[in-house]
Chain A
Amino acid sequence: MNYREALLLFCLNQINGQRTINGLYHLLQGKKSSQTIQDGKLFGVSFLFGTCKHINRKEFLETVTRLHNERFIIKKSEDTFLVSEPGVKIMEGILRKYPFPDHLDGWAYQSRADLFWKRLSLYVQSLSHLLKGDSNFLPVNREDNIQYWIKKNFPMEQNEREAWANNLYNEILSLLNDLTENESTLFTYRLSGFHRVGLTINQAAGRIGVDSDFANLLFKGILHYIMKRLQENEQKYPFLSVFVKDLEVLLPLTDSARKTFSMLGKNRTIKEIAGYRRLKESTIEDHIVEIAMNVPEFTIDSFVAPFEQEEILEISKQLRTKRLKPIKTALEDRLSYFQIRLVLVKEG
């Protein structure tokens, strides 16, 4: 059994016949309908959201058919399936050997990870060539918006370019140092430069001796990991952060909430933001709720301590309600409506 089959078995097992294979396909493709998003969360497969765009519908259906022919899955209705006992067993065996990467979080990062990688790979290639005085190279990416972004952000002077190379090198090295040898090798293989063209996922998978569908998840996981680290600690990675800063515009936020989001990123408090923007504090709190709802990687820990979050969820569960007032009363007014709302929307 190949990795792709194991991956589909895993998903089908999570969904457990409650959604169609078409819904699963949309999830792997990263199609953003609210149904797919809810499904992803509901069945614990949201980390795979949009991570397998390379699998087209025909290949997807062929894999399903193969699994069905070999009785690893059983038809429940026309387009829903249950995983058989042997199916579960063989899938678990493969996933034990090749577990999903820890950092993989498609729902949080994948839509931006693609752009991040396109920018980074073209930027690194351009730096590597131009530092050697070679300007006649064929770029690894031809998309106008990517080339335009590079042009806008590329230093003109040689000494600036050297500085960028040094700093990007150091930041990437420090990030890769915390990953496994296989992951760092995979990532480096994929970059193109003056002395060598980068490898495709498929080629790099061959070099490190893993299945290419597994290498794909491993690679996406590395991108998600880097983006997460950049988000957590922008100051530590000022050069790499340039590549993701403006990607926030892709988040589904109102303009006003986006402004609040970007100020929060600069470690401003609610009071400061309200004062600066001449808005009411409650408005800023509304923004933060909107952000918590729409930006999966946004952490609310600085507004509600983790143990308080647990407490709110516990009470909500006991009282079987998501209504704010009874929860607040049960908490004896120790926490605000804002904090309770925040925890509840975050939980979905």
Chain B
Amino acid sequence: MNLQRLLQKHFGFSTFRKGQQEIINDVVQGKNVLAMLPTGTGKSICYQLPGYILPGIILVVSPLLSLMEDQVQQLKSNGEKRALALNSFLSLSERKTALSNLAQYKYIYVSPEILQHPIIQKKLRDAGVSLFVIDEAHCISQWGHEFRTDYLKLSGVREILGNPPCLALTATATEAVRKDILSQLQLDDAESHIYGIDRSNIAIKVEEHQSVEEKVTALLDYSSKLKGPGIVYFSSRVWAERMAALIEEQKVGRVAFYHAGMEMEDRLLIQKQFINDEIDLICSTNAFGMGINKPNVRYVIHFHFPGTIEAYLQEIGRAGRDGAESLAVLLYTKEDYQLPAMLMQQEVPEDKQVSGVLDYLFSMGGNQLTPEAEKSMIQAVGLSEVAWGFLAFHLGKRGVIMEDNFIKPFDLKSTFASLKGIIEERTRVKLNRLYEMNRWLEREGCRRQNYLGHFDQCLEETPEHCCDYCGITLSKYEKRDELNRTRLQEKFLWKKELTRLFHQSEEVGIEE
């Protein structure tokens, strides 16, 4: 078979990007593969193209609902109708229809959670899976240990499905994380394809400010000068909305906000406006970006920084996918560091809650934990669902919670000590990653070299526009023609607009 021809025929590209062909070759030969490619360089082709060669289903485990739906919609827009996102948001009847026709689909996207259902496992096994893909595989390590513990059960599911070959894809994973991925998935024999994750066309600037007000001023300045389209990341919805309003007041371009609290319809409209260049600037939480294919994003600004270097690189990686020069700016104050640290502490169950849960379960020894009892217990202890999921997973691992939720009598003291140990370890790991992010911000030297070092990679060649340490010329990223800044909005006349929507000739609708 000719991979090149398939690429042209189904995806409309004439050549492969770096790494794609090598990865696909191993995949179609039935090898297990771990692949790391920089963000925005066509990771999905690595499993979508094999779909035209392998006989069975390409099963893709994906961390986010929106990401799944984006991928399915993109496949459909490309003329591939055999794509399905199986998720808990489908209604029962929709899910039933889909499940009874599973073999009709070629590409099935699932969340790790839904993959735990025995019925779904059985239907997938019967339909035949040819390739087991784990997209954004670093989530196994990043989230699997905390709240999405179903990620840690994937190797078991794969076995049930008859051990199809596995492809684990990621854009940002340190060596330790890559090792963790391989061990969690039990892929000792996997071929690793690790490519340089540096995006040399993105210049990096980090700016320390003395106060939030100073940061706001800096953001307003950048948003009026920089050439769009651009994305600004905030830690909360409130900030995203507030700053979008402030920037809008400057009348320097078309700005909108985006966050997970918005209705689905509105989110899709904003995404589409951004992709179609009808918006110059998006003020957003980290909910925006995954799965959005927009080649010409010219800058990414962080008003608040994320909790890990990996997340930071993913977010700035949304700029410059077309290869053209782009800019990433990070604004911070010393206090910014407190916020993510505080959020992290909140996510973790407290000692009091852990012992509350254990006391309750202890009293139930030998009995079954009914869903009602589970619910009232969580409420009584004041535990979040995420935190309970974490505890339940580890209690299951220790054999305290058995099959069908039966509680095995257990030793209170040693169980508490062990859970506490696990919790402390996870908190330590998370805080550590935040420290690393912070250290990167404050560290002397080339920004690029510093983050590559974090991934055990070296900078082969310093790009001309590298970072604030090596020197960059900001004016290069600024708007050139002043006309753009005061773009006049064409007056909106609804009758005229209606004729354009329905492609009616102008005379029909206008009676002016």
**A→B interface (CB under 8 Å):** 53-54, 56, 118, 124, 127-128, 131-132, 136-142, 144-145, 165-166, 168-169, 172-173, 176, 181, 184-185, 187-189, 191-203, 206-207
| Interchain CA distance A142-B271 in the complex, whole Å | 13
| Interchain CA distance A185-B498 in the complex, whole Å | 10
Decide if B269 touches A139 in the complex (CB within 8 Å).
no
Interface centre among B94, B264, B278, B501 (most CB of A within 10 A): B501
Cβ of B9 to closest chain A Cβ, rounded Å: 16
Pick the contact of A142: B69, B248, B262 (CB < 8 A): B69
Given contact pairs A192-B272, A196-B278, A200-B270, A173 touches B509 in the complex (Cβ within 8 A) = yes
Contacts of B271 in A (CB 8 A): 138
| Interchain CA distance A48-B499 in the complex, whole Å | 33
Contacts of A144 in B (CB 8 A): 90, 94
Q: Which residue of A lies closest to B248 (CB)?
A: A206
Given contact pairs A169-B499, A196-B278, A197-B273, A140 touches B268 in the complex (Cβ within 8 A) = yes
For window 59-85 of B, CB contacts with A under 8 Å fall at: 69, 73, 77-78
Pick the contact of B503: A53, A128, A200 (CB < 8 A): A128
Cβ of A190 to closest chain B Cβ, rounded Å: 9
Contacts of B275 in A (CB 8 A): 138
Contacts of B500 in A (CB 8 A): 193, 195-196
Decide if A201 touches B266 in the complex (CB within 8 Å).
yes
Decide if B494 touches A185 in the complex (CB within 8 Å).
yes
Cβ of B260 to closest chain A Cβ, rounded Å: 11
Closest 10 CB pairs of A and B: A169-B502, A193-B501, A188-B494, A200-B266, A165-B502, A197-B273, A197-B272, A185-B494, A184-B494, A136-B77
Contacts of A193 in B (CB 8 A): 500-502
Given contact pairs A138-B77, A196-B278, A197-B278, A127 touches B272 in the complex (Cβ within 8 A) = no
Contacts of A196 in B (CB 8 A): 278, 497, 500
Pick the contact of A173: B248, B270, B498 (CB < 8 A): B498
Pick the contact of A140: B69, B265, B509 (CB < 8 A): B265
Pick the contact of A139: B73, B256, B262, B497 (CB < 8 A): B73
Decide if B494 touches A138 in the complex (CB within 8 Å).
no
Contacts of B265 in A (CB 8 A): 118, 140-141, 200
Decide if B494 touches A176 in the complex (CB within 8 Å).
yes
Pick the contact of A56: B77, B248, B261, B269 (CB < 8 A): B261
Pick the contact of A168: B77, B272, B278, B502 (CB < 8 A): B502
Q: Which residue of A lies closest to B493 (CB)?
A: A185
| Interchain CA distance A232-B205 in the complex, whole Å | 63
How many residues of chain B have a CB within 8 Å of chain A? 36
Show 5 residue pairs from A and B whose CB-CB distance is below 8 angstroms, ordered by the A residue.
A139-B73, A140-B272, A187-B494, A188-B498, A189-B497
| Interchain CA distance A27-B504 in the complex, whole Å | 42
Given contact pairs A136-B77, A138-B77, A200 touches B502 in the complex (Cβ within 8 A) = no
Contacts of A140 in B (CB 8 A): 265, 268-269, 272
In the complex, B403 has a CB within 8 A of chain A: no
For window 464-512 of B, CB contacts with A under 8 Å fall at: 492, 494-495, 497-504, 509
In the complex, B159 has a CB within 8 A of chain A: no
| Interchain CA distance A187-B499 in the complex, whole Å | 14
Decide if A173 touches B501 in the complex (CB within 8 Å).
no
In the complex, B217 has a CB within 8 A of chain A: no
Interface centre among B78, B248, B271, B504 (most CB of A within 10 A): B504
Decide if B498 touches A169 in the complex (CB within 8 Å).
yes
In the complex, B338 has a CB within 8 A of chain A: no
Contacts of B77 in A (CB 8 A): 136-138
Contacts of B372 in A (CB 8 A): none
Contacts of A189 in B (CB 8 A): 492, 494, 497
Decide if B503 touches A191 in the complex (CB within 8 Å).
no
Decide if A197 touches B269 in the complex (CB within 8 Å).
yes
Decide if B272 touches A138 in the complex (CB within 8 Å).
yes
For window 232-291 of B, CB contacts with A under 8 Å fall at: 248, 256, 261-266, 268-273, 275-276, 278
Contacts of A127 in B (CB 8 A): 502
Given contact pairs A138-B272, A140-B265, A176-B494, A166 touches B278 in the complex (Cβ within 8 A) = no
| Interchain CA distance A280-B261 in the complex, whole Å | 53
Cβ of A138 to closest chain B Cβ, rounded Å: 6
Given contact pairs A132-B503, A166-B504, A188 touches B497 in the complex (Cβ within 8 A) = yes
Contacts of B91 in A (CB 8 A): 145
Decide if A166 touches B268 in the complex (CB within 8 Å).
no
| Interchain CA distance A181-B498 in the complex, whole Å | 14
Given contacts A144-B94, A196-B500, list 19 more A-B pairs with CB under 8 A. Answer: A56-B261, A118-B265, A138-B77, A139-B73, A142-B69, A142-B264, A165-B503, A169-B501, A172-B498, A184-B494, A187-B494, A188-B497, A192-B272, A194-B501, A195-B501, A196-B278, A200-B266, A203-B256, A206-B248
